[in-house]
Amino acid sequence: MLTDQIAEMKKNRGPGYKPRTRHLRPDGTAQYTNRLFLESSPYLLQHAHNPVDWYPWGDEAFEAAENLDRPIFLSVGYSTCHWCHVMEEESFEDEKIAKFINENYIAVKVDREERPDIDAIYMAAVQALTGRGGWPMTVWLTPDKKPFYGGTYFPARDGDRGAVTGFLTLLEKIAETYHQEKRLVSSRGEQLTDIVKGMLNPDHGIDLPGADVLHRVMEEYQQLYDPVHGGIKGAPKFPSSLPVRLLFRYHRRAGDDEVLKMAVKTLAMMASGGMYDHIGGGFHRYATDESWLVPHFEKMLYDNALLAIAYLEGYQATGHHAFAQTAKEILKYVTVEMTSPEGAFFSATDADSMTLSGEQEEGWFFTWTAEELNDVLGGDRARAVKAYYSVGDIPDFEGRHILHAPKPVKDVAHKLNLSENELKKILDESKKHLYKERNRRQPPLRDEKILTSWNGLMISAFARAGFIIDNKAYVVTAERAARFILDKMILDGRLFRSYKDGHMRYNAYLDDYAFLITGLLDLFESTGNPAWLKHAIALDQILKDHYEDRVNGGFFMTSNDHERLIAREKPSYDGALPSGNSYAVSNLLRLYGLTTDDTYRKRAESALKSFSNILGENPAAMAEMLLAVETYLDIPFEIVIVSPKGRTKGAQPFLDVLRKRFIPNRQLIVVYEGDENDSLLQIIPWLKEKEAIGKKTTAFVCERGMCNIPVSDPEIFKRQLGDVKKL
């Protein structure tokens, strides 16, 4: 019985459990409790005490809809979504609206981060209906899961926030239409489902993409580029809209200095803007304005993983130490605030936080008044901090200031009659004081579920940072997270998507496998441990067996034994996250380079052909796939560094050369003679006969098996790496 299950869960949650609702009894317990109370998703639990009788996605909900002859009201969001919170407070906590929903619909809540398959299907429907999408996503379905109407956020009542038709009126009209126009609703559901299927699995191509697609997309980016603020012109501004990693690669291969300037300015402007958390490190999700000043204040694990990698590559491509420093600060934030005791990474923190008056406000935790800065820092130090972080007379956001640094340290120091070093010292000390003071505030809610795909991205970030910055602690962090995923989130050889409260849930999706494989390959290159490579190969085999389109190439989001939905997506376009297919193709090319097994190359080519039509029509929407195209068109270096027995540090001078050079498509293997390398030789045959010559550490630089003269001099090694294959 449901009541018994809820009673048992209340016992398990214990006396310290605090329901998140305004509907409380005098003793502090919740007046309402629905089925979501039995779930582990932080987002679903946020709605467990709404007066709406929510169901989680599942057979029970759809059987109830069928039996009661009611439409499904589907609401999709995520735990750190500001407008999801707004719609909850305005509508789902409203007893009149909840009563109407309960009497006329079966209400289903979905956490888009746990169920990206459901999110993708119904987001496609909303985009087909309205031309845009977003969260919260609001969709009405027939009991057989077919969408017939939808949108995003709806104000509660007519006239609210300028809306002509409010949510309650819409609920009433749709319920009436559903019962009085059954044939129309059914027809619309069928038509929309057919449109969704076409959107999620577009026509495949037959030709391999060439360098022309890279040249054309660069022309497009140059036209869209914002020369004042960096990124793409206009607002809102998302970091991924201008793919700086692709720009760095294009500059390297085509020698286009304007493209390099675009990438450098974009990274610099993002890091100096208010979208960056100057006190705690890490980036907020996106900026609402064109100058990167005012963010939506949620912080997502995946954004920070991808940005850490972008800044690390920016450091390699330019030598700008500020980029390396930004990456370090991102990773420090993740280490301190987003790492579980077991070593895996949490998902996100909320945009909203509690003010001193007990109200939830977006961004309050991260912003300051001039008076607060004066109180914490005092006199001259506060004056310096306010000057550098542009705290003027007029607040930036809701009566408070967003710290941002539009002027270089040198200019501000000159204005304050300080040396650069003096100002830097003041800023460093002040950040510690402000961080300590900020942590006395009630922090935003943290979504502590562990997602395989997002952890895969952050494993990559730490593994790459460990190599580029030469910090073993980063590599250890990446290894801990990887071991957690491999130990806790695999059952019978198959990955799971989500982990929370000691339990894993949901079959893994394409991006879970693809992003984790990338992380494992990066760990292999950073450590030389063949175990990581073996795990990557085993996971790719599962993708091949259960996710790959053997006929047309590429990969489906869901496995061939997944829950049957109205459509099966083959992801192509990049969204909030890069496409899983893009990572999968890059992984295949890396595995081909390491193993020389030609089946990896053929599978990668099949996928590239499959998406060639979309790449030709709209390459900017597949920027991450263009990284794979650029790799495919390159001839990567195969680099082996062999140290003689007992010379554990002999490889360091050669590795130091690589740390400071941007060579994105290389294969790197470090071998120490005397170790057990037989298992590695079985996987990587081109390691054979590569030995330390004359008992000196020896480097081999090869291309498709053809090697330069082995060298023991790092300077000669550096020169051998100077050959760049032009596009």
pLDDT tens-digit readout, 359-405: 889 999 999 999 999 999 998 999 999 999 999 999 999 999 999 99
Mean pLDDT value of segment 625-638: 96
Residue 213 in any domain: the answer is: no
The last residue of a domain, from among 418, 443, 468:
443
Are the CB atoms for 579 and 573 separated by under 8 Å?
yes
Indicate if the pLDDT at residue 672 is higher than 90.
no
What residue numbers bound the domain in which 675 lies?
638-720
At 115, which CATH number? 3.40.30.10
Q: Between β-strands 446-447 and 295-296, what pairing exists: parallel, antiparallel or unpaired?
A: unpaired
243-to-295, 427, 696 alpha-carbon distances in Å: 19, 31, 41
State pLDDT tens for residues 13-23. 888 899 999 99
Domain tally, the chain: 3
Q: Read off the pLDDT band of 533 (50, 70, 90).
A: very high
Say yes or no to pLDDT of 131 above 90.
Answer: yes
Distant-in-sequence, close-in-space partners of 707: CB < 8 Å, separation ≥ 6: 700, 701
Identify which of 108, 103, 95, 91 has the alpha carbon closest to the alpha carbon of residue 44: 108
- Of 148, 181, 200, the domain-final residue: 200
Would you say residue 510 has pLDDT above 80? yes
pLDDT the model gives residue 646? 64
Closest CA to 312 of 516, 468, 520: 468
pLDDT the model gives residue 55: 98
Answer whether 591's CB lies under 8 Å from 536's CB. Answer: yes
Are the C-beta atoms of 140 and 174 separated by less than 8 Å? yes
- pTM assigned to the model: 0.96
From residue 589, how far is each of 501, 597, 673, 682, 697 by CA, in Å?
A: 37, 10, 28, 19, 28
Tell me, what's the pLDDT at 141?
98
Q: Is residue 178 part of a domain?
A: yes
How far apart are the C-alpha atoms of 327 and 309, rounded to whole Å?
Answer: 7
Report the SS3 class of residue 97.
helix
pLDDT in tens, 64-109: 999 999 999 999 999 999 899 999 999 999 999 999 999 999 999 9
Summarize pLDDT for 543-563 with one digit per residue, the tens.
999 999 999 999 999 999 999
Considering the chain, what percentage of its residues have pLDDT values greater than 90? 89
What are the tens digits of pLDDT across the range 249-285? 999 999 999 999 999 999 999 999 999 999 999 999 9
pLDDT digits (tens, 9 = 90+) for 138-161: 999 999 999 999 999 999 999 999
Whether residue 647 has pLDDT greater than 80: no
pLDDT of the residue at 279: 98
| 273 lies in some domain | no
Tell which of 150, 177, 200 closes a domain: 200
The CATH number of residue 655's host domain is 3.40.30
For residue 222, is pLDDT > 90? yes
424 in helix, strand or coil?
helix
The tens digit of pLDDT for each residue in 298-351 reads 999 999 999 999 999 999 999 999 999 999 999 999 999 999 999 999 999 999
Residue 465 has pLDDT above 80, yes or no: yes
What confidence score (pLDDT) does residue 330 get? 98
User: Measured between alpha carbons, how far is 42 from 45 in angstroms, rounded to an integer?
Assistant: 5
d(CA 313, CA 294): 26
Question: What does the chain come to in residues?
Answer: 727
Report the C-alpha gap between 438 and 425 in whole angstroms: 20
**Do the beta carbons of residue 421 and residue 310 sit within 8 Å?**
no
**Residue corresponding to tokens 């489906």:** 556
3-state secondary structure of 180: helix
Is 449 part of a structural domain of the chain?
A: no
Residues near 241 by Cβ (< 8 Å), separated by ≥ 6? 231, 232
First to last CA, the chain: 65
> Is the predicted pLDDT of residue 675 greater than 80, yes or no?
no
pLDDT bracket for residue 723 (50, 70, 90)? confident
Spatial neighbors of 452 by CB under 8 A, at least 6 apart, are 485, 489, 495, 496, 497, 498, 508, 512, 515, 516
**Strand (E) positions, 403-493?**
446-447, 450-451, 490-491
Is residue 229 a contact partner of residue 292, using CB atoms and an 8 Å limit?
Answer: yes
Q: How confident is the model at residue 203 (pLDDT cuts 50, 70, 90)?
A: confident
Residues 6+ positions from 13 with CB-CB distance below 8 Å: none
